[in-house]
Amino acid sequence: MRIKRVTNNLGQKIASLAVGMLGVGVVLAIWGGVWLVYLYRNPPESEAMLFVAAGIFLSGLDLGLIGFSAGFIGRAARESSSDEVRPSDRIAVATPNHDNEPVR
């Protein structure tokens, strides 16, 4: 039998996704850039390989940018979910007793 967590940790899920996307994006951008430099120094016969290398490089930059911005979104979601009502934030309100009965 497996016990599921009932709490909603959306901020933590987004933050872990952001770290993964940022990591994959950085690796793709670095190796795509290395491949582009190699292809510019040793030009291929067709330009198709340059398009593939440029696509990998730009996809890596894009994933890195999305991961970086998702980290800010995850942090904001985590902070907003921790802003629960604290006992010091509660206000006591007295309501009039119109029945003239003692309050129990």
Of 18, 14, 29, 33, which Cα lies nearest the Cα of 62?
29
pTM exceeds 0.85: no
CA-based nearest residue to 32, from 47, 54, 49: 54
pLDDT for 18 equals 83
- Taking only the tens of pLDDT, the chain with its 104 residues reads 565 555 566 667 777 888 888 899 999 999 999 999 999 999 989 899 999 999 999 999 999 998 888 877 777 766 666 655 555 555 666 666 666 666 56
Maximum C-alpha span of the chain: 97
